[in-house]
Amino acid sequence: MASLWRGGIRPSDQFWPSCAASGKKPRGKREKSVLRVQLKHLLAWCGPGMPVAALGLPLVVYLPPHYAGTLGLPLVTVGLIFAIVRLVDIPFDPLLGALMDRTRTRIGQFRPWIIGGAFLLAAGSWLLFMAQPGVGALRTFLALFILYLGYSSIQLAQVSWGSRLSADYAERARIFGFWTASNVLGNLSVLFIPPLLLMLVPGSTPTEGVHAIGWFILALIPVTVAIAALTVPEGEAPAPAHRFSFRQMMGVLADGRMKLLLLADLLLSIAPGITGALFLFYFTQARGVPLETASQILLCYFIAGLAAAPLWIRLAQRWGKHRAGALAATWLGLIPLVLPFLPAAPAWPSALVMLIAGIPYAAPAFLLRAMLADLNDAQRLDALQAGADNGETTGLAFALLTATQKLGYAIPVGLTYPLLALIGFDPRPGAGNSPNALAQLEMLFIGPALLLAAGAALALARWPITAEAHALIRARLAER
């Protein structure tokens, strides 16, 4: 076990032996002066996350069935395209992160990347959402690739910027809690668009619903990015710019704490990714729920996640981020186990279960990113104590976390869709599927997510940077 922790340090050693040996006590109370971010700045900084998050649900839940069903691409082709694009895009994340670490401009370090990413995101969204029947595999691949480049640029710049808004352990939970809440709000807004369109334009088709989602995202991108870029202070980089090197990236990856965080993030990305990729298939075909009702059940899930976000912020501040994260992971895996024991009709018991299952939905994303911000402080102190070059690695670290998240989202569609084809599942609306195919669909919907969430909970339970350890790290950094 000692080899997992840099220098052979275990969590029981309070993580930072040099601080513990100093005899200093951690701060008993939180410093509340310059460490708390103004609400207007926090809300403006969160804004660009909304269109990015609004893309997340269609990319997993709506667009793959739309391309496989309405637009006519083969099921296996759709699964492979959505998986391969994410896999091809992943190596770009560390490169983008390293370039952000080197960036120093008159308008800041991260603003140029958010602004540039907005143009790519808008172009990719147009190509992807406005596609017509008969669209080819190559065009779909290129549209997804452009979209993901913009997605990565905005998200990496935003979360790296967020880690600099405050150095306080508890305040970072608040910052990234707001960020995740805005992401959930972006997801929720997308869910309202198809039924709203149906109310305003009776008889509108699912294709028109996909187009409406695309227009909504295209409208959000310039407004939210402009507000953030013009109003939120960025602050100065804590370390000088440096040249990118694979040695530096491997140094970040070699940290046992980073490995633990990346493992938890990967598992907690795959688990809900499987649930999302199979959600509409499971509820409409295995449980016989109408598409409109299935969308309402999914809405319950996200509403619960948004409403419960303040609860997880408080739990993180009181219990520690790692303990709150372990609880959230356990919750995510266990609650859906109830679904097979419920009757298919009426639908309200299933909606209630998904409402309860959605309570921890927002927690892992913001907790892991707040934990990474704490780890960045620890790694900076590592470098100072070792007398090493203290180059800026914030963007690179968040890029690696984003890469594992993308990998986690690529695996579900790339794995489950070919498996569905293998068992003979027909994805077309109203298609008749055999009881065996539906039973295996149910197993895929519930079983893997349970095992993956359990693994993530075990990883998070071993996280060594507590509030007390982080207070000591910040004290040591302040002395230098």
**pLDDT score for 351:** 87
- Can you name the residues that pair with 105 across neighbouring β-strands? 108
**pLDDT score for 141:** 93
In a domain, 1, yes or no: no
In a domain, 67, yes or no: yes
Report the C-alpha gap between 358 and 432 in whole angstroms.
30
Nearest of 406, 31, 66 to residue 207 by alpha carbon: 66
DSSP state of 48: T
User: Total domain count for the chain?
Assistant: 1
Q: Kindly give, in sequence order, each residue whose CB lies less than 8 Å from that of residue 24, ignoring residues fewer than 6 positions away.
A: 472, 475
In a domain, 27, yes or no: no
In a domain, 416, yes or no: yes
Nearest of 75, 82, 63, 69 to residue 418 by alpha carbon: 75
Q: List the pLDDT tens digit at each of the 480 positions of the chain.
A: 333 334 333 333 333 333 333 334 444 444 444 468 889 999 999 999 999 989 987 887 778 888 887 887 888 888 888 878 877 888 888 888 888 888 888 888 899 999 999 999 999 999 999 988 888 889 999 999 999 999 989 999 998 898 888 888 888 889 988 988 888 888 888 878 877 887 888 877 778 888 899 999 999 999 999 999 999 988 665 555 556 556 667 777 778 899 999 999 999 989 888 888 888 888 888 888 887 788 788 888 888 988 898 899 899 988 999 999 999 999 999 988 888 888 777 888 888 988 999 999 889 988 998 899 899 888 888 877 777 655 667 778 888 888 888 788 778 877 888 888 888 887 776 677 788 888 888 888 888 889 999 999 999 999 999 888 888 988 888 876
**How many Cα atoms occupy the beta-carbon half-sphere of 234 within 13 Å?**
22
In a domain, 12, yes or no: no
In a domain, 28, yes or no: no
- C-alpha distances (whole Å) from 13 to each of 10, 87, 252, 259, 336 are 6, 38, 22, 19, 37
Residue ranges making up the domain that contains 453: 36-479
CATH code at 136? Answer: 1.20.1250.20
In a domain, 447, yes or no: yes
> Is-above-0.85 flag for pTM?
no
**How many Cα atoms occupy the beta-carbon half-sphere of 46 within 13 Å?**
21
**pLDDT score for 388:** 66
Nearest of 61, 63, 68, 70 to residue 298 by alpha carbon: 61
Residue count of the chain, please give it: 480
Report the C-alpha gap between 177 and 368 in whole angstroms.
11
- Is the Cβ–Cβ distance between 120 and 150 less than 8 Å? yes
Whole-number CA gyration radius for the chain: 22
**pLDDT score for 143:** 93
In a domain, 88, yes or no: yes
